[in-house]
């Protein structure tokens, strides 16, 4: 076993590797950028080395700096985590040339599976079924469009490099092919540095089922059963589970045998995942699955496999990379119970899952597992940390295991209801809505489920009067004791001859609320809502609300929903900067990738005006109303959250 390893990653996966390494007595070295100087993974590691500025291209993608850091720290091996350099064969070569061990597959194995088109040709030769499509080298638009017609619409354009849904477009009609191809190529180039694509038949009711495989350097390869990752938005996974619901013995046998065959075809060593697309239109059948791609690394969703098999996959990675054989044979790996993983993101589900930023002023996870279940919280952040625009906005993975799917799903719902985040827009309510969706609960899941139900899944009911009253009470600091108590604001202070009353102003969206809060002699609190109600609406609250105060705001938690109210500062001047209705602002920090209009153009509501690239995904910015453009951002401009992208001419009349 290694004595010291360097982890070439950040966030929750770096923390995850550190925990196993610590249990095995292996010392760890973290690397960090400017933005991560005080990150959790830096605090947890035995040592930490600064490798550059915040952008990934100047830090976490600088293989030379990472190798130099490993050598300077005396590390024997490098664990890549996932993302960043984890599937970069040139980095593997660089590690080996420095006399270090790469904790993962060989560069040859990564190259064999790194490009989807070449990988599919290789799998065809190995006897692994592949989805019908064009996987050739020629990239002329006329040829690709012709192949799409031959395959038959709908088709899927996919970047041949990378994954995570980047560079992927579904096309339903030939007239839309050219535009979709251009978008896929731009996104693929930005994310992977390679704009080449392949074209495949779009499966009508696709299930995304993948098999965890593991190989060693002695020719052994095993599978650790399957995971279902069909619950996706924008081609990115949301909730994963193991085993796959509705899995038949025949399909499991065929799929796992094909996965092991694929691993052996490239002499694979380490943790890997064979991803299959399954046609579920007529149920799960052994002849209706096809190879999509292989991820030559540890997957984000690996904890669900660990939960149902009892295997620590990171421990296996360290043991195999240090020269040991696989710890178990295929017959010794068993499947027990059911597990779910929900990805908690800083994102606005109601706005097309736009990534969000912000400071995690309040962050609280369940501290006790639901009854009859086991749980894991995989995170790389703490309360007070910032969600940076430089990296993936995942806050945590909530992982739960139960004796069967129903009990595990109930436990997941409870975990989501007990998770509290304030300071950034998050997807907790969306995850909770998905967990209770009738089709999802029944196991009738495919990759289009979220898209079909998106409006219902992302809808947040307006706060009730009781919720507003709770927010007003929380905004008074009532019940605060000790050094944080403010005798001038708390309702527990002294008032001569009368009940102490506090007037509170709140805002929820565009709604302005006025409330009067008082403490009753019996310990209850009375909240009278004066606006926007026609008549005073009074509420008696017997307990303090489940809420969090943070600068200028209060968030009230009702299950998985967090209702955030602004608490205006009566001494602050109104901010007029963003009051102009004739402007369109950036919803997040990003790069203006493409501009489709110019000053003087007359545009109509919904017309695409520009494409903003943020976190390696493209977001179309459309006209909010009809009008004439006075100014528009320049192509290539780097903008911050709230920057004016488009200004419209004043409408006279």
Tokens 């989501």, located at residue: 416
Tokens 């009349």, located at residue: 653
- Rounded distance, CA 366 to CA 81, Å? 26
Decide the pairing of beta strands 374-379 and 354-355: unpaired
- Rounded distance, CA 263 to CA 81, Å? 20
Give exposure, 418-436, as e/b (b: 16+ Cβ within 10 Å): bbbbbbbbbbbbbbbbbbe
Give exposure, 441-472, as e/b (b: 16+ Cβ within 10 Å): bebebbbebbeebbeebbeeeebeeebbbbbb
Q: How far is CA 450 from CA 206, 411, 436, 460, 619, in A?
A: 13, 21, 12, 16, 19
| Contact yes or no for 419/431 (Cβ under 8 A) | no
- Rounded distance, CA 580 to CA 649, Å? 11
Catalytic residue, candidates 10, 169, 252, 297: 297
Q: Cβ neighbours of residue 590 under 8 Å, at least 6 residues apart?
A: 389, 612, 613, 614, 615, 619, 638, 639
Q: What pairs with residue 356 in β-bridges?
A: none
Q: Cβ neighbours of residue 423 under 8 Å, at least 6 residues apart?
A: 358, 359, 360, 361, 362, 363, 550
**How many CA atoms lie within 13 Å of 350's alpha carbon, on the beta-carbon side?**
8
Burial classification of residue 583, based on how many CB atoms lie within 10 Å of its CB (0-12 exposed, 13-18 middle, 19 or more buried): middle
- Rounded distance, CA 215 to CA 112, Å? 16
Q: Cβ neighbours of residue 92 under 8 Å, at least 6 residues apart?
A: 102, 104, 105, 106, 107, 110
How many degrees, rounded to 5, is the angle at CA 69 between CA 67 and CA 75? 80
| Contact yes or no for 411/30 (Cβ under 8 A) | no
Give the pair of three-digit tokens for residue 7.
């982890």
Is 452 among the residues known to form the active site? Answer: no
For the chain, counts of helices (H) and of strands (E):
16, 38
Give the pair of three-digit tokens for residue 472.
């007003």
Which amino acids are annotated catalytic? 297
């Amino acid at each position: 076993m290694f004595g010291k390893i360097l982890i070439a990653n950040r966030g929750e996966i770096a923390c995850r590797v550190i925990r196993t390494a610590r249990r095995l007595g292996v010392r760890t070295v973290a690397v960090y950028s400017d933005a991560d100087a005080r990150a959790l993974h830096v605090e947890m590691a035995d040592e930490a080395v600064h490798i550059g500025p915040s952008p990934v291209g100047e830090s976490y993608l600088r293989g030379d700096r990472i190798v130099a850091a490993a050598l300077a720290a005396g590390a024997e091996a490098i664990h890549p985590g996932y993302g960043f350099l984890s599937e970069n064969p040139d980095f593997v070569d660089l590690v080996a040339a420095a006399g270090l061990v790469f904790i993962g597959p060989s560069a040859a194995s990564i190259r064999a599976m790194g490009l989807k088109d070449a990988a599919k040709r290789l799998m065809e030769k190995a006897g692994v079924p592949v989805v019908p499509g064009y996987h050739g080298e020629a990239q002329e638009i006329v040829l690709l469009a012709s192949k799409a017609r031959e395959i038959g619409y709908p088709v899927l354009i996919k970047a041949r490099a990378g994954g995570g849904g980047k560079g992927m477009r579904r096309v339903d009609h030939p007239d839309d092919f050219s535009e979709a191809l251009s978008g896929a190529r731009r996104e693929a180039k930005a994310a992977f540095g390679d704009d080449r694509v392949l074209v495949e038949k779009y499966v009508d009711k696709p299930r995304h089922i993948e098999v965890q495989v593991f190989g060693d350097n002695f020719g052994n390869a095993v599978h650790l059963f399957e995971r279902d990752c069909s619950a996706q938005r924008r081609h990115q996974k949301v909730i994963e589970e193991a085993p796959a619901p509705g899995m038949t013995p025949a399909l499991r046998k065929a799929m796992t045998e094909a996965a092991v065959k694929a691993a052996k075809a490239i002499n694979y060593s380490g943790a890997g995942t064979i991803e299959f697309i399954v046609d579920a239109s007529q149920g799960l059948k052994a002849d209706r699955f096809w190879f999509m791609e292989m991820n030559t690394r540890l997957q984000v969703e690996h904890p669900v496999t660990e939960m149902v098999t009892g295997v620590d996959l990171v421990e296996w990675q360290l043991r195999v990379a240090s020269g040991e054989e696989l710890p178990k044979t295929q017959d010794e790996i068993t499947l027990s119970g059911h597990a779910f993983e929900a990805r908690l993101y800083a994102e606005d589900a109601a706005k097309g899952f736009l990534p969000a930023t912000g400071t995690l002023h309040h962050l609280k996870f369940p501290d006790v597992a639901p009854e009859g279940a086991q749980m894991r919280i995989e995170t790389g952040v703490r309360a007070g940390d910032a969600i940076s625009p430089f990296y993936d906005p995942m806050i945590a993975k909530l992982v739960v295991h139960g004796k069967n799917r129903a009990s595990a799903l109930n436990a997941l719902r409870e975990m989501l209801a007990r998770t509290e985040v304030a300071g950034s827009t998050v997807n907790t309510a969306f995850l909770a809505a998905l967990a209770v969706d009738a089709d999802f609960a029944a196991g009738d899941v495919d990759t289009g489920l979220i898209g079909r139900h998106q409006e219902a899944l992302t809808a947040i009911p307006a706060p009730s009067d009781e919720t507003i009253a709770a927010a007003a009470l929380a905004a008074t600091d009532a019940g605060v004791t000790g050094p944080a108590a403010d005798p001038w604001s708390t309702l527990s202070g002294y008032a001569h001859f009368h009940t102490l009353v506090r007037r509170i102003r709140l805002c929820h969206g565009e709604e302005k609320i006025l409330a009067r809060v008082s403490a009753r002699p019996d310990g209850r609190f009375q909240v009278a809502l004066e606006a926007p109600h026609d008549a005073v609406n009074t509420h008696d609250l017997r307990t303090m609300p489940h809420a969090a105060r943070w600068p200028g705001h209060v968030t009230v938690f009702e299950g998985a929903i967090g209702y955030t109210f602004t608490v205006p500062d009566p001494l602050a001047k109104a901010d007029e900067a963003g009051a102009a209705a004739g402007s369109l602002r950036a919803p997040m920090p990003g790069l203006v990738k493409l501009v489709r209009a110019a000053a003087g153009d007359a545009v109509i509501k919904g017309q695409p005006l520009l494409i903003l690239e943020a976190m390696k995904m493209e977001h179309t910015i459309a006209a909010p109303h009809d009008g004439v453009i006075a100014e528009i951002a320049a192509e290539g401009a780097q903008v911050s959250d709230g920057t004016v992208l488009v200004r419209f001419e004043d409408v006279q009349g």
